[in-house]
Amino acid sequence: MDPLFDVFAIFQEKFDYVQASTDRLRDRLYHVKKEVTYLKRMKRVLIRRLARYGEPYSYAPLEIPDDADIEDPIVKRRKERRERERERKEAMKASKVRSRRASFFFLRVPPLYLF
């Protein structure tokens, strides 16, 4: 078989996998947007119903604010992973500096001859 054909087959397989992942994410995003739109509509309906009965809903804080800053668990894990990676790199850099200093010190010290 041609090695170029093997490379093409590998790339085609990877492309298909990425394409399927993209389609799944796009589908999930579509359904989430639909759900958000539905919940916004329900919120408006319930607010109108409360206003019709004279309920002072506007004075009470909402349980779930519209602009809640909720951190996604995946984003949180990525941040933690980046932080661990940064700390690991800093530790490796510091150990290299220490080993360089130690080797430099030992190179500069003349050997002691005891007779």
SS3 at position 26: helix
**Structural domain boundaries in the chain:** 1-67, 71-115
Contacts of 77 (CB under 8 A, 6+ apart): none
pTM over 0.75: no
Tokens of 106: 């030992």
- The pLDDT value recorded for residue 1 is 66
For residue range 58-68, list pLDDT tens digits in order: 666 656 655 55
Compute CA distances 106 → 81, 95, 99, 102, whole Å. 37, 16, 11, 6
For residue range 54-112, list pLDDT tens digits in order: 876 666 665 665 555 666 777 788 889 999 999 999 998 888 877 766 665 555 555 55
- The pLDDT value recorded for residue 115 is 46
